Amino acid sequence: MDTNQYIEVFLDESREHLQAVNDNLLKLEKQPEDLSIVSEIFRSAHTLKGMAATMGFEDVASLTHQMENVLDKIRNEELHVSTDVVDITFAAVEALEEMVASISEGNDGKKDVSDLVSKLEQLENGGSAPVSQESSSTSESQSSIEFELDEYQATVIAQAKEQGFEALHINVRLNDDCILKAARAYMVFEKLEDKGDLIQTVPVVEDIEDGNFEQEFSLLMLTKESKEDLEKLIHSVSEINRVDVSDLKVKDKEQEQPKAQEDEDPNKAKSEVAATKEAPANNQSAPKQSKTIRVNLERIDNLMNLFEEVVIDRSRLEDLGQKLKDQELIETIENMTRVTEDMQGLMLSMRMVPVEQVFNRFPRMVRGITKELGKEIDLEITGADTELDRTVIDEIGDPLVHLIRNSLDHGIESPQKRKEVGKSETGKVSLRAFHSGNHVFIEIEDDGGGINREKVEAKAIENGLLSAEHSEVLSDEEIYQMIFSSGFSTADQISDISGRGVGLDVVRSKIESLGGNIIVESEPGKGSKFSIQLPLTLSILTTLLVNVQQETYAIPLSAIVETMLLEEKQVMFVQGQKVIDFRGKVIPLVSLRDIFNVPTAEDSKEENSIVIVHKGDKMAGLLVDSFIGQKEVVLKSLGNYLRDIFAISGATILGDGEVSLIIDPNALVK
């Protein structure tokens, strides 16, 4: 039977069932006595088995079959739900996810499952499986190669493979007597530059560039070149001892399942499966029918890029219309503006995906970590259907992982301690997402010990971030924010779960790079709450254009409180710093002319034009020469050569073809 036409449906449904099994297993662990959950899992496994057998995926079928046997025993109360049972079933689900992911990439979905099957058999026959064997066999069977891919990289590779690229692992060893290793490595990079895309290196590029490696380094590259050609090419560089080019092998397990989730989204988005953790599980068997097509994300990105060009041309037309004062032309342009605005809305909504796909992996992660830490913690997720721009979704995963780990490790106390202070032994971490205005908020709240002000203070003073006198005038809130400064960790002991003080500052800068911000609130003994504010979309901004001498700058409207005119004599000085009185509040005045070293032609005006911007509840006045007006602009990055320019987040092309820099007000408000 030709089964190809069914493969998409098979994949969709398999993923749904696997997610359902996942959710239900987590529930089952909490309520081991609830046999209705076992029945749900059984049904999912059974459906999976049937589908897989029809499609000819034998390994999937045999594994689910064995799962089914175990579940059946539980259902008939012949077997008790123990941690072993749940652990092994989880391992089996992971293996299934890997197989499904591999099928979705066009492979045959084969995998050696005999080990898992025999473990399940053991369970079925009453004995507990030896735990040691489990960890070694499921996760670290391939340990020779050291690439670990994040979700994004895994997606890129999967897509590239669809387009006929190969993911190659290139290992280069330099001669032992090679002295300028970095320069040599640079030559290798240069040779490979136009042969494909470099995805990852071990060690990281910065280390290679600084020569911080033994004689050897590895590259992960997407290319259409043959292995032999690449080997030859690299050998043309001097002082190369050995080159090995092989197909990509990555650490098992971790990277397969995100891929499965990635592929899942379009489907999720369209069918709106109410798969929040608390949703009743029985809606999964209802057949899904919706009129959707799957589109490669790249195409949407391309469409978006083209559309951005249209927006640029539109502003050019607007300028022309004003200049020519032709009524018909102006009307046409106005109409076009309306249409493109609608298009923009549509296009943005296409890029929106539920934050669910990031949240999905957390229940299992929390489960794993709490076990490791010997704590008992419940994770509560709300608002998983909140939608965010794809780009933000891709980037937000790691910071969230970090914050959740942080809450689990440092936030929630040990069960004994919780008992002592009269809390329930089980801690609670809530993960919430919701819309508000033009922003999406993600909150992570725990009911742990809260932040210890004294400890933070002491640490900040010790690290020279704060002076002792200064610390006394700061509010608790202000002190708490110090944990985002670099080189900070208040945990008494360093554990491998939440880092060595290189954490929260990275989280903050990541979130700021996405145009968002993060604050922390905390109450001693009651817990802490991290709130992340994120913009809905990144690429098209509404800005205020201003003139600074002959140059035009754009300031994002979201950061602007208001604009004002101020006479020179109203500017005051505090400790040599210009300040102004803004509604009874003294705020610093920053001259953009000075900040950006704009060449000055004329000077000394009677009145100052000032844009008041804010960051959280802090404000500053930006001194400009004149306001031009509000404008939708397309944010273009400055590229790799001009990274990390102070107070500039990007550039845009204006209607008249002039390039204008977009100011990052966050950097100017201190």
Interface with another protein (CB under 8 A): 179-180, 182-183, 186-187, 190, 211, 236-239
Encoded tokens for 164: 């006929």
CA 71 – CA 124 distance, rounded (Å): 9
Nearer to another protein, 193 or 581 (CB): 193
Encoded tokens for 113: 């499952």
Q: Tell which residue, 439, 447, 588, has the closest CA to residue 517.
A: 439
Q: Residue 196: which H helix or E strand, with range?
A: strand 196-202
Nearer to another protein, 179 or 468 (CB): 179
Q: What is the DSSP letter of 210?
A: T
The strand pairing partners of 435, in sequence order, are: 440
Nearer to another protein, 235 or 419 (CB): 235
Taking the complex as a whole, the smallest distance from the CB of residue 190 to another protein amounts, in Å, to 7
Q: Contacts for 77-83 with beta carbons within 8 Å, 24 or more apart?
A: 77/35, 79/123, 79/124, 79/126, 80/32, 81/28, 81/29, 81/32, 81/33, 81/38, 82/128, 83/29
Q: Tell which residue, 237, 236, 243, has the closest CA to residue 173.
A: 243
Distances in whole angstroms, Cα of residue 495 to Cα of each of 160, 382, 490 = 37, 29, 12
Helices (H), 125-236: 131-139, 151-162, 181-193, 205-209, 227-235
Q: Tell me the helix, strand and coil percentages in the chain, rounded to 5.
A: 45, 25, 30
Taking the complex as a whole, the smallest distance from the CB of residue 212 to another protein amounts, in Å, to 12
Encoded tokens for 590: 């920053």
Taking the complex as a whole, the smallest distance from the CB of residue 228 to another protein amounts, in Å, to 18
Q: Are 182 and 209 in contact (CB under 8 A)?
A: yes
Taking the complex as a whole, the smallest distance from the CB of residue 645 to another protein amounts, in Å, to 22
Alpha carbon of residue 355 to chain centroid: 10
Give me the amino acid identity at 256. E
Radius of gyration of the chain (CA): 29
Taking the complex as a whole, the smallest distance from the CB of residue 405 to another protein amounts, in Å, to 38
Cβ contacts of residue 301 below 8 Å, gap of 6+? none
CA 425 – CA 377 distance, rounded (Å): 9
**CA torsion sign, 208 to 213 to 214 to 216?**
negative
Taking the complex as a whole, the smallest distance from the CB of residue 179 to another protein amounts, in Å, to 5
Nearer to another protein, 237 or 365 (CB): 237
Nearer to another protein, 238 or 349 (CB): 238
Q: Tell which residue, 114, 68, 540, has the closest CA to residue 343.
A: 540
Taking the complex as a whole, the smallest distance from the CB of residue 232 to another protein amounts, in Å, to 11
Nearer to another protein, 187 or 461 (CB): 187
Nearer to another protein, 239 or 378 (CB): 239
Encoded tokens for 253: 């397990």
Q: Are 613 and 561 in contact (CB under 8 A)?
A: yes
Torsion region of 336: left, alpha or beta (phi above 0 gives left; psi -120 to 50 gives alpha): alpha
**CB neighbours (10 Å) of residue 162?**
12
The strand pairing partners of 218, in sequence order, are: 171, 202
Nearer to another protein, 32 or 211 (CB): 211
Nearer to another protein, 173 or 455 (CB): 173
Catalytic residues, by residue number, are 46, 68, 406
Q: Are 512 and 497 in contact (CB under 8 A)?
A: no
Q: Are 663 and 648 in contact (CB under 8 A)?
A: yes
Nearer to another protein, 175 or 391 (CB): 175
